[in-house]
Amino acid sequence: MPDVGEGLTEAEILKWYVQPGDTVTDGQVVCEVETAKAAVELPIPFDGVVHELRYPEGETVDVGQVIISVNVAPGGAAPAPEAAAPEAPVREEPAAAPAPAPAAEEEAEPQGRQPVLVGYGVAASSTKRRPRKQATATGPAPAAQAAVQGELNGHAPAPAAPTPQARPLAKPPVRKLAKDLGVDLATVTPTGPDGIITREDVHKAAAPAQAPRAVPAQAPTPPTAAEPPAATPAPPVAEPVAAGARETRIPIKGVRKATAQAMVGSAFTAPHVTEFVTVDVTRTMKLVEELKTDKDMAGLRVNPLLLIAKALLVAIKRNPEVNASWDEAAQEIVVKHYVNLGIAAATPRGLIVPNVKDAHAKTLPELASALGELVSTAREGKTTPAAMQGGTVTITNVGVFGVDTGTPILNPGESAILAVGAIKLQPWVHKGKVKPRQVTTLALSFDHRLVDGELGSKVLADVAAVLERPKRLITWA
């Protein structure tokens, strides 16, 4: 499992596109995974035949764990070397082949950069795992060596508990999980390669405090669908709700988990201020209808959001100090001379905020094209982590749900977010008479460390002024 999102520690396998026995080619997408930021497709960097899928769909896997093995030897019985994990790689060997000596294994390791699933390499590390205290200078302890040999022969190794003198071997995400569940790693029986404690081992150790689970009599080393990895003692989401059930528990993971953490961090870090304005957008709605028939906009998505986005960009150009971020470490305000315009999008996996890069430099047709592509990609669940990074300001359109307005929370690291309410006919005083007009309410939340009340009011008033009289898109641009 590669790090597909710049420092993420785990990902959930959403779907396998191959099965054991299938032929794969270099660059072929073999599975889709969901990180805390997005759903990502993983290609295989080998030609060969799939030997084994190590984890089922729905399993959450730590970065660095081997998830698939491929036999790259044509007509051979031995599977190919697996996509190497950062630590303790395991190579598949023929059942009858003897285990190589440690020195020979080190000489067989290729030098330079190793391929991983996403198609780029990682530098080979000279760092060696420190030996256990019971190990001799000439090689691993007999129990550990027997466990590794058993794994190479395709048999589940006999679990060996860590000795009291040695610190239990576990990766940082597993240690954090154990801490969250209140599990002492010294009491956990490891089943991973070289005595590493896995996520499943921690869940098993925590199981006595939870509801009993049905476990197969001889469970293989790879996790199975009968044993979900969620920390919450809840049935899988796919399981039908029993008649009369009063509660359903859904594990918090992936995009929804990341969103929750980001929103809590933003709400309690940046002092939020929200201002509101109700505006007559009848002229803007008429312009939208005219643009739909304009040949220069043919084939593009033309809607009120397009002109609202353009209005916000004009307001930022007139008030550039609003487009900034707060650098706590350097104690500096960083004013951005570009606008990466975020659009909050609700997807089945949760709320995501991809952004249009350098939106300030785009013409209206270019902006329409970029917004259309952004929305379509988000709905398909194909938004990449890069598309959600580097945003400066955001628009959230709560009006599509029939909501008049709201008090949006800032996307972390950004200075402002504009909420757009429902556009609907309302009685409005126009040219001295009460008439039905297209009216909406705008709400602007901003970070009061960066934006004071005067600046925030000017930005919101400018957006409203452009939407009330859209010819200002020309006169103010």
Residues annotated as catalytic (active site), given as ranges: 448
DSSP 359: G
The strand pairing partners of 334, in sequence order, are 325
d(CA 371, CA 392): 16
The upper half-sphere exposure of residue 375, i.e. CA atoms within 13 Å in the direction of its Cβ, equals: 16
DSSP 288: H
What string of DSSP letters covers 100-151? PPHHHHHHHSPPSEEE-TTS-EEEPP---PPPPTT-BTTB--HHHHHHHHHH
> Residue 476: which of 316, 349, 254 has the closest Cα?
316
Structure tokens at 438: 């297209």
What string of DSSP letters covers 393-449? EEEEEGGGGT-----PPPPTT-SEEEEE---EEEEEEETTEEEEEEEEEEEEEEETT
Residue with tokens 């082949």: 97
Round the CA-based radius of gyration of the chain to a whole number and report it.
Answer: 28
Residues 67, 16: contact at Cβ < 8 Å?
no
Residues 115, 45: contact at Cβ < 8 Å?
yes
Degrees, nearest 5: CA angle 282-307-454: 90
d(CA 318, CA 416): 15
The upper half-sphere exposure of residue 130, i.e. CA atoms within 13 Å in the direction of its Cβ, equals: 7
Residue with tokens 């980001």: 262
d(CA 352, CA 84): 31
